[in-house]
Amino acid sequence: MKQRARFSRTAVVGGAALALVLSLSGCGGGSDAADGDTIHVLVYGDAANKVEKELVATFNKTSKVKAVLDTIPGADYQAKLQTIINSKQAPDVFFNWGGGSIKPFVDAGLLLPLDPFIDKDPDLKAKFLPSVFNSAVVDGTSYGVPMRGTQPVLLFNNGKVLKKAGVEPPKTWDDLLAAVKALKVDGVTPIALGGGDRWPTLMWFEYLYDRIAGPELFQKALDGDKDAWASQDSRKALGKIRELVDAGAFGTNYDSVKFTDQGSPTLLATGRAGFELMGSWAYSTQQDAHPEFAKSDLGYSAFPSVEGGRGDQANVVGNTNNFYSVLKKTKHPQAVAAFLKLMYSDQFVKAQLSIGNLPTTTNTEGLLDTAASPEFAKFQYDMVKAAPAFQLSWDQAYPQAAATAMYQSLQQFFNGSMDEDAFIKAMQALPTS
């Protein structure tokens, strides 16, 4: 009796172990379904997928090769992409942020140059605003086609708060300093800043460097010229940041505030702050969380000019757009080319506009009236179209490997725990390729 019990128990345990091993070895296989005639399109999973689904459906109506849309939830996108891009599970076409986000893939020889497509169909380049299209050009070769909306950074304001303090949206740096003073007298935080997220702090650096030195300084630094960070213009920009922070423009607790958990938008919406420098998505954030405020008091303007600065007042910084890039090993380059052509179709533009995105195609202008917020869409479109240069966010222009150290130094310089020289040294130490 006991003997038998023991035997069966042993058998169960052994069987379980065997099953475990078998199931584990099953993991590696992956699923290679017979998808000879499909192209896989991998995108960042969020609300905009609605449009991507529509376009895939449109494409599949006429194409022999069918497109399949795969989505990865936002926060995991970059890590997952990095893991699969050089494996069997790699997609044919994938979403990215241009610039530094695709540079490593280009360097590893994974991406298909799009210039042959463009030679065949010049519209694939000509139909997009050049300042945007160019941010997916790596070493003179085009690797991406814009596929969502542009997100320039604007200086948002609370009209009611400004009025009470007798302040206008600032045109110059001195206006801004004066506004900060007036708002402080009124007892509000002049500028809301989600410093806990760090990238909102970055926006102040991007604009000041651009206004003072023009886009060339950053480009030089990105190309590996370490002296750019130590130049006089660089020091001047850092001085302006110090001046603004020390003037109390951001209050004292900005490093504990975040944009992503509604901290800073709420400050602006509830009248506890006068301004917030933020990407254009702040508009829809406010519409969702504070619809009344968005309708009546939410204002916006371009970043002020800086006297004596070399940069054009009309320059813009932000996320130029998202892009579709193509993997070299795709089996259906013709189908992919046909798919990419949809990215400047009227259907695409209308669909993006309806969900609040602002596409960067030349035919967008005529369709702006169909946008969710036509006035705001027009303001942004004119701004981006008129911009001589559109600076891609630094954290996206630099290789991924630089992001963490960059954020750390930005935050530390901003809150005063790192001085100018240490900051310059830290930026010089960032990997550029």
Partner 1 sequence: MTRNAPPPADSGAVRSAGSSGSGSSGAGRPGFLWAVPAAVFFGLFAIVPLIMVAVLSFASWDGLSDPEFTGLDNWRTLLDDPVMIKSLWLSVLLTVLGVAVQTPLSILLGVWAAGHQRNRAVLSAIYFVPLLLSIAAVSVLWRAVLDPNLGVPAHATWLFGDGNLFGTQATAIGVLVFVSTWQFTPLHTLIYQGAARAVPPVLYQAAQIDGAGRVRQFFHITLPQLRNSIITSVILMVVGGLTTFDTVLILTQGGPGSDTTISAYYMYQKAFKSFDYGAASAIALLLVLVSTVISLIVVRLSGYDKMRSTMEGL
Residues at the site binding partner 1, with contacts judged by CB under 8 A: 2, 10, 13-14, 16-17, 20-21, 24, 79, 82-83, 85-86, 104-105, 108, 110, 195-196, 198, 251-258, 261, 263, 266-267, 272, 400-404, 408-409, 411-412, 415, 417-418
- In whole angstroms, how close is the CB of 336 to partner 1 at the nearest point? 21
- In whole angstroms, how close is the CB of 255 to partner 1 at the nearest point? 3
Q: Which is nearer to partner 1, 215 or 263 (CB)?
A: 263
Q: Which is nearer to partner 1, 78 or 345 (CB)?
A: 78
What are the tokens at 146? 């814009």
- In whole angstroms, how close is the CB of 344 to partner 1 at the nearest point? 30
Q: Which is nearer to partner 1, 150 or 285 (CB)?
A: 285
- In whole angstroms, how close is the CB of 160 to partner 1 at the nearest point? 18
Q: Which is nearer to partner 1, 17 or 126 (CB)?
A: 17
Label each residue of the chain as H, E or C.
CHHHHHHHHHHHHHHHHHHHHHHHHHHHHCCCCCCCCEEEEEEEECCCHHHHHHHHHHHHHHCCCEEEEEEEEHHHHHHHHHHHCCCCCCCCEEEECCHHHCHHHHHCCCECCCHHHHHHCCHHHHCECHHHHHHHEECCEECCEECCCCEEEEEEEEHHHHHHHCCCCCCEHHHHHHHHHHHHHCCCEEEECCHHHCHHHHHHHHHHHHHHHCHHHHHHHHCCCCHHHHCHHHHHHHHHHHHHHHCCCCCCCHHHCCCCCCHHHHHHHCCCEEEEEEECHHHHHHHHHCHHHHHHCEEEECCCECCCCCCCCCCEEEECCCEEEEECCCCCHHHHHHHHHHHHCHHHHHHHHHCCCCCCEHHHHHHHHHCCCHHHHHHHHHHHHHCCCEEECHHHHCCHHHHHHHHHHHHHHHCCCCCHHHHHHHHHCCCCC
- In whole angstroms, how close is the CB of 258 to partner 1 at the nearest point? 8
Q: Which is nearer to partner 1, 162 or 267 (CB)?
A: 267
Q: Which is nearer to partner 1, 5 or 34 (CB)?
A: 5
Q: Which is nearer to partner 1, 196 or 359 (CB)?
A: 196
- In whole angstroms, how close is the CB of 194 to partner 1 at the nearest point? 11
- In whole angstroms, how close is the CB of 82 to partner 1 at the nearest point? 5
- In whole angstroms, how close is the CB of 225 to partner 1 at the nearest point? 22
- In whole angstroms, how close is the CB of 11 to partner 1 at the nearest point? 10
Q: Which is nearer to partner 1, 90 or 314 (CB)?
A: 90
Pairing of β 189-192 and β 273-279: parallel
Q: Which is nearer to partner 1, 320 or 409 (CB)?
A: 409
Q: Which is nearer to partner 1, 65 or 267 (CB)?
A: 267
Write the CB contacts of 47 (distance below 8 Å, at least 6 apart in sequence).
355
Q: Round to whole Å and give the CA distance between 117 and 102.
A: 19
Q: Residue written as tokens 């102040």?
A: 204
- In whole angstroms, how close is the CB of 250 to partner 1 at the nearest point? 11
